[in-house]
Structure 1
Amino acid sequence: MQNQPHPPVIFLMGPTASGKTALSVQLAQALNGEIISVDSALVFKGMDIGTAKPMMDERGGIPHHLIDILDPAEAYSTGQFRKQALAIMDDISRRGKIPILVGGTMLYFKVLNSGLAVLPEADPIIRAKLDQDLAQLGKETLHQRLAEIDPEAAARIHPNDPQRVQRALEVYAISGKPLTSFFSAAQAQDIPYQKIKLIIAPQDRAILHGIIARRFKQMLEQGFIDEVATLYQRGDLTDKIPSIRAVGYRQAWSYLQGEYDLETMTEKAIIATRQLAKRQFTWLRRETASANFQTGQKDLLAKVLAEIDGQLSSLDRGGCQTEVS
């Protein structure tokens, strides 16, 4: 008998605007793979320009999963992502292909590795009180309150992410326990795959900042404001829901409400995107056993394929060991 190795899966991670999308398509073409989006904004229909969603001609004939699956009015949880991603990974592997998970929502990658913590259900009364506190006291005060009860969560959650700050405060108000304790108590639920982890990012963050600024200005030229205006005019969406709180969208929403002029909105959106990239870098520094590559480096595809081939060869050798009976 032979030990049967788990099938491979590729995790392609990196900060926003680092070149993950184009590289993932090239990898899928070279490796007979299919792409699973690991992005909390790409799931929404009608949000194309501001999310840098790959259009059909950019997908190179490769199936892309978990894109355009929800209306912006709907919510999408990490639990839903994990369940759907695992089902798709299983289907791709059974068909003899390699699942390639690509994106920048690091929490989604984490739940694939570590499973989910079971958190208390939302309490509308507590949430309403927190919304009131946010409006009256401001996001900095709420973040300071979180730092007092759960320093680790406060270090992990940026003050400019009041939705997650409020959720952490809500969990504490309901349970009397800090949010971090739920994640610490969660038992790891490793997935039955051999994970090949790849990270792509510019060597210098100043380079990434330049790319982010150019990309957002290009989005404006492509009609981003009109895209957000279409959502705004629906009348059933607000800037309190996850889809509209996505980076870029919430700033454009404020512009449409008359809170900013176009120049101020552009500056705020670029700054918010840089802050997102900074948080993604923080997550990526915790990644272990990953191979790192630089955005735009010479022969990038060839070097990434060589890394993958080396790891796949190692997996094959591991599967040829004979069991002793």
Structure 2
Amino acid sequence: MQDAETTFPPLIDKAYVLTGATASGKSSLGLDWAERVGGEILSLDSIAVYRDMDIGTAKPTADQIARVPHHLINLVDPAEEFSVACYMRAAHQAVNEICSRGKVPIFVGGTPMFLKGILRGFDPGPPADWEFRKSVERDVQEHGVEALRERLRQVDPLAEHRINTNDVRRMIRALEVSRATGVPISHRQIQFEKQVSPDQCNVNALMWPRDQLHARINERVEAMFQAGLVGEVQSLLDRPGGMSRTARQAVGYREVIEHLDGTIDLDTAKEQVAAHTRRLARRQETWFRSFKEIRHIEMSEGCDPEQALQQLQQR
């Protein structure tokens, strides 16, 4: 395990990137792209790193893996925690191995914090202090998010300005880092705010009209339940150690856990998975627009995937 202070440089000088919101079609297009350019795919998904969390993450099938090698999936058991630092460590190793074989590393996925690490590099900072986090979360429940924002404003006004209004998790992390190190997280991350021109890299995001993307999400959610998502979650919970905090909070899994706990019925669970996935897609697209490195590829129903593929290959 590397020291918590180790920083990871960006990887876009060595790799291509294809991102997009959930259900945007990036996995299928990424396979075609990899075959055209002699590439290997690296998953850019924070939940696909967990073994046997397959249905809810739309992991590649055996046939897809036979077509193109895939990396950064099935790295740890669901009972384990997995951080951005863990991901960056594994990503750097995988990219170096792929390049040594003369292949092209292609990151495909939509987890924003993983994407930012690939584009800008990453400073892991101190390890998580779960007792401190629980204490702050209790304060948020009692006093509200605005009180949390004011607390962060006193400690790190730049971080308070940058973090989205309701992103409680990132605000707590900012407080945690300042408390543990004595240095505001915004000061530590200055070197990771540097951007390169989209002409200097090959980073792309698939962008869909909102109504069409929502329809695709609804179809995917229904397919996940038909494929046995409830049974998958039950089998994970029944294992020794169960599921980690991170694994349990994944969209699609946390709602099914509530259903299995008897908190909500199955129809409500489906509705919440779809609603939360649509909300996640909006947050993903907000992140994509904030990265100046990314070029957008406009998609729509009935469009020829070959046209999108040609745009990827022209860069």
Q: Same fold (TM over 0.5)?
A: yes
Residue 93 of structure 2 corresponds to which residue in structure 1? 87
Residue 250 of structure 1 corresponds to which residue in structure 2? 254
Secondary structure of the structure 1 residue equivalent to 2:42: strand
Cα pair distance change 1:46/1:139, threshold 3 Å: farther
TM-score, reference length from structure 2: 0.83
- Taking the aligned partners of 1:50 and 1:288, their CA distance within structure 2 comes to 30
- Taking the aligned partners of 1:164 and 1:135, their CA distance within structure 2 comes to 16
Unmatched tracts of structure 1, length 5 or more: 1-5, 312-325
Cα pair distance change 1:294/1:186, threshold 3 Å: closer
Cα pair distance change 1:41/1:140, threshold 3 Å: farther
Q: Which moved more, 1:282-291 or 1:20-29?
A: 282-291
Shift of residue 237 of structure 1?
Answer: 2.7
- Taking the aligned partners of 1:140 and 1:269, their CA distance within structure 2 comes to 27
> Contact 1:118–1:182 (CA<8 Å) still a contact in 2?
no
Residue 213 of structure 1 corresponds to which residue in structure 2? 218
How many residue pairs get aligned? The number is: 300
- CA RMSD across the alignment: 2.9
User: Does residue 33 of structure 1 match 2:39?
Assistant: yes
> Contact 1:293–1:300 (CA<8 Å) still a contact in 2?
no
Deviations 1:239-289 (A, max 9, x none): x61011111111111111111111222222112111211111111102224
Deviations 1:56-93 (A, max 9, x none): 12345210001111101112221222222122222222
Deviations 1:107-134 (A, max 9, x none): 1121123222252333354234235435
Cα pair distance change 1:221/1:309, threshold 3 Å: closer
Equivalent residue runs for 1:172-211 within 5 Å: 172-175=178-181, 177-184=183-190, 186=192, 195-202=201-208, 204-211=209-216
> Contact 1:212–1:273 (CA<8 Å) still a contact in 2?
yes
Unmatched tracts of structure 2, length 5 or more: 1-11
Shift of residue 96 of structure 1?
Answer: 1.8
Residue 230 of structure 1 corresponds to which residue in structure 2? 235
> Contact 1:81–1:108 (CA<8 Å) still a contact in 2?
yes
> Contact 2:233–2:257 (CA<8 Å) still a contact in 1?
yes
> Contact 2:195–2:292 (CA<8 Å) still a contact in 1?
no
Equivalent residue runs for 1:33-72 within 5 Å: 33-59=39-65, 61-72=67-78
Q: What is the identity, as a one-letter code, of the residue corresponding to 2:235?
A: T
Cα pair distance change 1:62/1:117, threshold 3 Å: same
> Contact 2:212–2:301 (CA<8 Å) still a contact in 1?
no
Cα pair distance change 1:98/1:149, threshold 3 Å: same
Cα pair distance change 1:119/1:189, threshold 3 Å: farther
Shift of residue 165 of structure 1?
Answer: 4.0
> Contact 1:26–1:301 (CA<8 Å) still a contact in 2?
no
Larger radius of gyration: 1
Cα pair distance change 1:258/1:177, threshold 3 Å: farther
Deviations 1:166-223 (A, max 9, x none): 3233224434554333322558699xxx631111121x11111111112111111111
User: Does residue 23 of structure 1 match 2:23?
Assistant: no
Residue 156 of structure 1 corresponds to which residue in structure 2? 163
